[in-house]
Amino acid sequence: MKYRKIVLMSILSAVIVILSACGGSETANSSGKPTVKIGYLPITHAVPLYMQKEFLGENNSFNLELVKFPSWPDLMDALNTGKIDGASTLVTVAMRAKEQGIDLKAVALGHRDGNVLVASPNINNVQDLKGKTYAVPHEFSSHNILLYMMLEKEGVDYEDVNVVEMAPAEMPAALATDRIAGYVVAEPFGAQSVVLDNAKVLYQSGELWKNSIDCALVLHGDFAKNNKKIAQDFVGSYVKAGQKAEAKGEQMRKVASKYMDVDDEVLDLSLEWISYDNLKINKEAYKKLSRYMVEMGLSESPPSYDAFVDNSFIEKVK
């Protein structure tokens, strides 16, 4: 009996090892369903994830665990090392990781539009930013590219502005205390400064680049490949959650407030700027983003659309 017990335990251990190697950090809980772990930052651009979590229901083939991170580098480290199955993240940061050999697939947008370039009230125009300090959340961010596009449009050289990286949550206070002259970042931080009369909007992202690509839903390649049914169900419920979010009703506001510490007036303004429908990643928009990454020296060879974007999941959503 003792020998049979030892053999049985060895077999069970081997099975666990095999199952854990099937891809991603997917695990099963007491319900028997696999758990999909998705990273996020508490920003307006991740609202479809919040809605998906709150209204997933019991008839889905998976459980959803949202893992909160304080910064993009922390989130990407977890994604790149396979500690989470996917993330709502800056698409440009994910592209950079893909370029460096990390197996990632972008399966949907996080949102459309919804970024604003703000500046101190004493900045009268874009030309006034010459010699001033302007903050972006990450060098490899579409926000940095939007800043480049705004300066280009207004005839100001990018090098004439002191561009610095700063954590999103620090930006409003930095602007209020004159440590920076302005910033561009994911919402609701732009709206926060505007509502407090500490900032003016120089440009909305749609005025520079309509339907620009910013945050995307990215899955680890192993997870998407080895768990196609679950990945399909996950993307399907995510897209439907985006449709719920686009209604921008009281239900959505309650859910957003649960995941973000945000004032109602700030959230209302932020939602005026953003859209959550039509979350398929457009090929021409992606190519434009890639061109700007090369032009700005952020990337020598961005991953091609076909190598990085996988629309097969979103195209099957009914």
Asked whether the predicted pLDDT for residue 171 surpasses 90, the reply is: yes
Q: Are residues 130 and 240 in the same domain?
A: no
Structure tokens at 191: 């709206």
Q: Are residues 39 and 163 in the same domain?
A: no
For the segment 132-161, the average pLDDT, to the nearest whole number, is 95
Query: If pLDDT is split at 50, 70 and 90, which confidence band does 30 have?
Result: low
Out of 165, 182, 208, a domain closes at 208
Q: Are residues 266 and 235 in the same domain?
A: yes
In a domain, 47, yes or no: yes
Asked whether the predicted pLDDT for residue 120 surpasses 50, the reply is: yes
What pLDDT shows up at residue 133? 98
Query: If pLDDT is split at 50, 70 and 90, which confidence band does 3 have?
Result: very low
What pLDDT shows up at residue 28? 53
In a domain, 217, yes or no: yes
The string over 60-94, giving b where at least 16 C-beta atoms fall within 10 Å of a residue's C-beta and e elsewhere, is bebbbbbbebeebeebbebbbebebbbbbbbbbbb
What pLDDT shows up at residue 31? 61
194 contact partners, CB below 8 Å, separation of at least 6: 116, 118, 200, 201, 269
User: Which of 208, 189, 206, 89 lies closest to 135 in space, CA to CA?
Assistant: 189
Query: If pLDDT is split at 50, 70 and 90, which confidence band does 106 have?
Result: very high
Out of 192, 208, 224, a domain closes at 208
Query: If pLDDT is split at 50, 70 and 90, which confidence band does 36 have?
Result: very high
Q: Are residues 223 and 93 in the same domain?
A: yes
In a domain, 39, yes or no: yes
For the segment 290-315, the average pLDDT, to the nearest whole number, is 94
Greater pLDDT, 59 or 280: 280
User: Which of 22, 17, 24 lies closest to 84 in space, CA to CA?
Assistant: 24
CA pair distance 155, 178, nearest whole angstrom:
24
Asked whether the predicted pLDDT for residue 25 surpasses 80, the reply is: no
What pLDDT shows up at residue 1? 41
Helix, coil or strand: residue 134: strand
Q: Are residues 94 and 234 in the same domain?
A: yes
Asked whether the predicted pLDDT for residue 23 surpasses 70, the reply is: no
Specify the residue for token string 């772990």: 37
Q: Are residues 243 and 105 in the same domain?
A: yes
CA pair distance 312, 318, nearest whole angstrom:
13
Q: Are residues 293 and 167 in the same domain?
A: no
Structural domain count, the chain: 2
Q: Are residues 69 and 81 in the same domain?
A: yes
Q: Are 277 and 109 in contact (CB under 8 A)?
A: no
User: Chain-wide mean pLDDT for the chain?
Assistant: 88
Out of 208, 231, 246, a domain closes at 208
In a domain, 128, yes or no: yes
Q: What percent of the chain is predicted at pLDDT more than 70?
A: 90
Greater pLDDT, 138 or 108: 108
Q: Are residues 75 and 87 in the same domain?
A: yes
- DSSP label at 51? H
Q: Are residues 167 and 98 in the same domain?
A: no
Residue 198 exposed, middle or buried by CB count within 10 Å (0-12, 13-18, 19+) = middle
In a domain, 15, yes or no: no
Where in the sequence is the domain holding 70, given as residue range(s)?
34-113+212-316
In a domain, 16, yes or no: no
What DSSP element (H or E) covers 176? helix 171-176
Q: Are 285 and 309 in contact (CB under 8 A)?
A: no
Cα three-residue angle 185-303-108, rounded to 5 degrees: 55
For the segment 93-118, the average pLDDT, to the nearest whole number, is 93
